[in-house]
Amino acid sequence: MTTTVAVLGTGIMGAGMAGNLANADLDVRVWNRNRDRAEPLADAGAAVADSAAEAVAGADVVLTMLFDEAAVSEVMAEALPAMTRGAVWVQSGTLGVEATGRLAERAAATGIEFVDAPVMGTKQPAEEGKLIILAAGPDRVRSALEPVFEAIAARTIWVGERPGDGHRLKLVANAWVVSLVAAAAQSIDLAARLGLDPQLFLDTIAGGASDSPYAQAKGRAMIGGNLAASFPLEGAAKDTQLILEAMGQAGARQDFLQAVSALYADALAAGHGGDDLAAVVAAFRRDHEPGGR
Ligand code: NAP
């Protein structure tokens, strides 16, 4: 029998994921708060629902790809009661470890299976079905999720059965991503301030042991000023807070990530929330006191 999947949230990531689910011949329903962002998915064969409750009714799998805990909480207050008992809720938005625990409890209280499944990869991998899923949830639902995960991901890392472990790994990996992009911005800004063409920095690391495709892509975006969002800076700023929260719980040293977080907060305050996270370079570009921040 064809698996029925409801995708709640068809923003940058959810739209790509829903498109691949529909192309994989799964029975797909989509819902988005702003309906205009869901409608193009009808061309791929998805049914566009008028409400989250309508989208999830009778679905085997419900995939949430919404901005933060507040959004998921609000949407699932309507959707959870409409879900079939025993259906699986795959929660893929980046919401944090504590939020994941709270949502898993809500699912359990309603007889819904919960899988913590944040993803690595941005707009293009979402559109190409090449995300990496960091999954944590009960072994008994894994086989039912196979066709769903196969359609959206290049691979799935099952971290374990404990909800929150997917997010723990996601925050570990995102600490790396937000720091890498901020470090690239720092070198690009410094090169320009020292009177060099910043492209020389990217050329210098190219192909060497310290190179990374992500640093090259984001570095080019910073230099060229093409800041159309693959990963909106607002989301990166949110994630730095979630990482700091997890660090606090774990007793980890936070001053490095606090400095990184302050850079994203500065760029957010300067109006770059809807731009790509490469816009963190704006935090370096204002003039600074000699010897100061
Ligand atoms: P996005 O394009 O900004 O989409 C955000 C989604 O959340 C939209 O569907 C938006 O609906 C919805 N939303 C926000 N507040 C809501 C509310 N109060 N009620 C209902 N819906 C609400 O962002 P995205 O990049 O797809 O990110 C989605 C999630 O994936 C985030 O948690 C993000 O951190 C995570 N993520 C992103 C990337 C990436 O590279 N972009 C990678 C991995 C994980 P509207 O369209 O109506 O505003």
pLDDT of 253-290, one tens digit each? 999 999 999 999 999 999 999 999 999 999 999 877 66
Mean pLDDT computed over every residue of the chain: 97
Among 28, 32, 38, 39, residue whose Cα is nearest residue 4: 28
d(C-alpha 258, C-alpha 264), whole Å: 10
Q: From ligand 1's centre to the CA of 58, what distance in Å? A: 24
Q: How confident is the model at residue 209 (pLDDT cuts 50, 70, 90)?
A: very high
Q: From ligand 1's centre to the CA of 74, what distance in Å? A: 14
d(C-alpha 122, C-alpha 132), whole Å: 10
Among 86, 76, 146, residue whose Cα is nearest residue 113: 86
Place of tokens 């310290």: 210
Beta bridge partners of 48: 30
Please report the domains of the chain, with CATH numbers, ordered by start residue. 4-162 (3.40.50.720), 168-285 (1.10.1040.10)
Q: Give CA 188 to chain center in angstroms.
A: 25
One-letter amino acid identity for 123? K
- Over residues 75-134, the pLDDT tens digits come to 999 999 999 999 999 999 999 999 999 999 999 999 999 999 999 999 999 999 999 999
Nearest CA to ligand 1 atom 3: 11
Cβ(9) – ligand 1 distance below 6 Å? yes
pLDDT of 22 strictly over 90: yes
Cβ(96) – ligand 1 distance below 6 Å? no
- Over residues 140-151, the pLDDT tens digits come to 999 999 999 999
Q: Which atom of ligand 1 is nearest to the CA of 239?
A: 34
pLDDT of residue 81: 97
Any idea of the CA torsion for 49, 50, 51, 57, to the nearest 10 degrees? -40
Cβ(39) – ligand 1 distance below 6 Å? no
Please list, in sequence order, all residues whose beta carbon lies within 8 angstroms of the beta carbon of residue 214, skipping any fewer than 6 positions away. Answer: 177, 180, 181
pLDDT of 183 strictly over 80: yes
Global pTM reads: 0.96
Q: What are phi and psi of 126, to 5 degrees?
A: -65, -40
pLDDT of residue 36: 98
pLDDT of 291 strictly over 90: no
pLDDT of 187 strictly over 90: yes
Cβ(142) – ligand 1 distance below 6 Å? no
The pLDDT of 12-26, averaged and rounded, is: 97
Nearest CA to ligand 1 atom 19: 71
Q: From ligand 1's centre to the CA of 245, what distance in Å? A: 20
